[in-house]
Amino acid sequence: MGNLPSLTWNSIWAANGLLLKGLSWRVGRGNAISIWIDQWILGIEPESWLNRGGNGELELVSDLIDSTSKMWKTKIITTTFQMDIAQRILQIPLAIIDCEDMQVWKGEHSGEFSVRSAYKLLQDASLDPSSYLLILDTREWLQMLVVLDAAPKKKTATTCFGNVLQALMFGI
């Protein structure tokens, strides 16, 4: 973060955890996605699936895809994963034409990031915004911002901005 980071940089850095939580993979070839670490099965966190088949050689999603037919290797998937997870994997569409794996925003069907969906993710997860590395003296800074002695036009904008920040960061 560097020495004396600005409030803007602090806020961006604080949102890093939320952004990482909102990313998911869209399967292309599967050669860039770890089966056991990356978020690639919609609605299921990687910690919840276990390798019940003892297939230690499976590392990448590409190991679950037949490269010639571009179809899932059904037998390996059903013996490796719990039935509900296996069914979700088999429902993931695979591209007929080779394409790269791509990180997408899971909060939108389009896969594109939006502030609205990030806010919804934060609410749905019941996460405390203060857990995202926000600076400790943000409350004091916001209080100073609200009572700032500025020109009427600037004061209105500053007060409005301060109120929005308070509402987002502290649920006020």
pLDDT at 122: 75
pLDDT for res 35: 92
- Yes or no: say if 29 and 99 are a contact pair by the CB < 8 Å rule: yes
Return the amino acid letter for 128. D
Residue 1 to residue 6: CA distance in whole angstroms: 10
- pLDDT of residue 48 exceeding 80: no
What's the confidence (pLDDT) of residue 134?
47
What is the pLDDT, as a whole number, of residue 106? 82
Say what percent of the chain tops pLDDT 70: 66
SS3 25: strand
Q: pLDDT: is 88 or 144 the higher one?
A: 88
Which of the two residues, 166 and 30, has the higher pLDDT score? 30
